[in-house]
Amino acid sequence: MNRYIKAEFELFKRQKGNLIIGGCVLFVFIMLLLLSGVGGSGYCAYITIVGYMAYLFFNIAFYLSPASYWQNRKKVVVTTEQLVLTLGESKRTYVKNKLFFYVVQYLVMVALIAVMQIPAALIAGETYSVWGFFLEVEVLTAIVFLSFFVMFVIPANAYLLAIPGWCGFCGGFVGGYFSVIADLPKEEAFEGFLWKALFGIVVGVLSIAYRYIRTIIEERGGLWRKEIATGEE
Amino acid sequence: MQQQTQIDENKVLEEKEAERLAKPALKVQGLEKSFFRFGSGKFAVKDISFTLERGYMLGLIGRNGAGKSTLLRLILQSLPRKKGTLQIAGYDVTTHATEAKKLVGYVGEDFYFLTKETLKENGKVLAMFYPEFSMDRYLELLGRFELGAEKLAGQLSKGENTKAQLAFALAHKPELLLLDEPTGGRDPVVRREFLYVLQSELMDERMSIIFSTHITEDLDKVADYVAMMEKGRLLFYETKDELLERLTGENGERLSLKQLMVKLCREGEKK
């Protein structure tokens, strides 16, 4: 494993408060998933939002580092980005690792939804619900990738962390809500899910590309790189 | 055959390393950065160029808000630059950002130790960012500064914090050490100890130091070069002795760095 990923993960592990809250919300999410077979499609869409809350708390733990200092009698919590850039990590590596963590978290959530459909089906006395799985993943995808969009476009600032979270939450909630109230035949609804998830992914990928290119430009010191004048060398 | 190839490869690596070590610790050209500051409007660091050879200490002076910390953060790359090129310890940061970063040490007023961890634990966690970090050296320096390795970082006084930071920075064997007001608000004993360690570290001529401070008396003792910043620009950059020789008082008397700084600031205000 990359040395910096290990180091950042070590910092992540030390954000105990946020990890405990995230873990508790995740536990609630898992419990709710167990009942998704009984609850129907509306229930499925809404509980995914609880899953997103867990995702958000884990991201706060990733965004804020365990380092802090006092300034004018006010405690300043240092962001992970500030900390690692003061240490021996480059911005490009940090952005790459951040993306890696986001994607891993997202895939873990998708895997969790897929696996939890099995006990959920057993509890409901039905077969595995592909429908429920798609619905939940669609809502999660819309929320997560819309959060990416705002998170990457807004400059890094601890106080602005709430904004992407809120926007992603609203975007995903609205997407999930319309999935439920549309009352379409399943084939059409599936197609709708796919389009919405695809929209979320495209927006997410574009914002990731934007952030990555911006980081490279920042590292180069401008769009067009001037060669260093070596003089006598 | 394989052994021969290995020997050749090692030789090439050694030559490259020797070539790199022959290059200056820092080369800055046309560095620029502008941003908006609440309350004081637009601020810019403009057209900064200088070279710092290995084994020397550069004292960076200037009044509050002149751009000293911004310049250090640009060199550290914790702030993105708008224009310009940076070469740290032989690495161009555009192409070798990671290699360059691991050779830079930083000591600032608000360094970020993990507050709820001990100094030893901090060393273990933060060392993961530096491949060359030596835990033995870190503990040895903590001992030298009379800091308990089991003390919580959040319980350190300002002076202890500075010493712990210096111990950490030196333990990862930097080739460029950036000091941002490290002695500000520290008692004379801490300052003297701090300067003594810095001087001894410069002996091996591998490392260079940029020391930004208001306390010009510290620079009188240890700096080889002096640079002054005013309104985001570098007013001068030359050896301390030449500078003190060149710029004298009204009656031709030799000035201290403190007097010199006051004089230049007043002249700047008149203009």
The 10s digit of each residue's pLDDT in B90-145 is 898 888 888 899 899 999 877 678 988 999 999 999 999 998 899 999 999 999 88
Choose from B29, B126, B162, B179 for mutation: most chain A CBs within 10 A.
B126
CB-nearest partner of A67 from B78, B83, B113: B113
**pLDDT at residue B194, as a whole number:** 82
pLDDT per residue over A162-211, tens digit each?
A: 565 566 666 666 666 565 555 666 666 667 777 777 777 787 777 777 77
**pLDDT at residue B196, as a whole number:** 86
- Extract long-range pairs of B256-259: CB within 8 Å, 24+ residues apart: B256/B216, B256/B217, B256/B220, B257/B59, B257/B61, B257/B216, B257/B217, B257/B219, B257/B220, B257/B226, B258/B216, B258/B217
pLDDT per residue over B36-57, tens digit each?
A: 666 666 778 888 999 999 999 9
On whether the CB atoms of residues B30 and A226 are closer than 8 A, the answer is yes
Q: Confidence band (pLDDT; 50, 70, 90) for A230? A: very low
On whether the CB atoms of residues A57 and A21 are closer than 8 A, the answer is yes
Query: Cα separations (Å) of B231 from B49, B64, B234?
Result: 15, 10, 8
> Is the sign of the CA dihedral B117, B123, B124, B126 positive or negative?
positive
CB atoms within 10 A of CB B90: 21
**How do strand B208-212 and strand B176-180 relate by DSSP bridges?**
parallel
Query: How far is Cα A101 from Cα B220, in angstroms, rounded to an integer?
Result: 49
Choose from B112, B122, B177 for mutation: most chain A CBs within 10 A.
B112
User: Which residues fall within 8 angstroms of residue A126, CB to CB, at 6 or more apart?
Assistant: A37
Q: Confidence band (pLDDT; 50, 70, 90) for A233? A: very low
Query: How far is Cα B241 from Cα B245, in angstroms, rounded to an integer?
Result: 6
- Per the CB < 8 Å rule, is B126 touching A221? no
In A, minimum Cα distance to B76 occurs at A86
- Per the CB < 8 Å rule, is B98 touching A90? yes
- Per the CB < 8 Å rule, is B129 touching A6? no
Q: In angstroms, what is the C-alpha Rg of chain B?
A: 20
Residue A186 CB burial class (10 angstroms; 0-12, 13-18, ≥19):
exposed
Structure tokens at B222: 């240890």
CB-nearest partner of A219 from B94, B113, B116: B94
The most distant pair of C-alpha atoms in chain A lies apart, rounded to whole Å, by 80
Query: How far is Cα A122 from Cα A161, in angstroms, rounded to an integer?
Result: 39
A102 CA: distance to closest CA in chain B (Å) = 21
Query: Can you tell me the mean pLDDT for B223-243?
Result: 88
In B, minimum Cα distance to A214 occurs at B80
Query: Can you tell me the mean pLDDT for B231-246?
Result: 85
pLDDT at residue A98 tops 50: yes
In B, minimum Cα distance to A66 occurs at B114
What's the whole-model pTM score? 0.82
On whether the CB atoms of residues B36 and B8 are closer than 8 A, the answer is no
* Residue A69: strand, helix, or coil: strand
ipTM: 0.83
Choose from A77, A82, A86, A225 for mutation: most chain B CBs within 10 A.
A86
**pLDDT at residue B40, as a whole number:** 62
**pLDDT at residue A36, as a whole number:** 74
Structure tokens at B158: 């300002």
- Per the CB < 8 Å rule, is B110 touching A71? yes
Q: Confidence band (pLDDT; 50, 70, 90) for A32? A: confident
- Per the CB < 8 Å rule, is B94 touching A225? yes
Query: How far is Cα A22 from Cα A109, in angstroms, rounded to an integer?
Result: 13
Query: Can you tell me the mean pLDDT for B231-250?
Result: 82
pLDDT per residue over A139-150, tens digit each?
A: 777 777 766 666
Write down the mean pLDDT value for chain B: 85
Query: Can you tell me the mean pLDDT for B21-28?
Result: 90
Block residue for tokens 């192409």: B95
CB-nearest partner of B94 from A11, A82, A221: A221
Angle, CA of A152, A148 and A53, to the nearest 5°: 130
**Residue B248: DSSP 8-state:** B
Query: How far is Cα A41 from Cα A192, in angstroms, rounded to an integer?
Result: 14
**pLDDT at residue A42, as a whole number:** 66
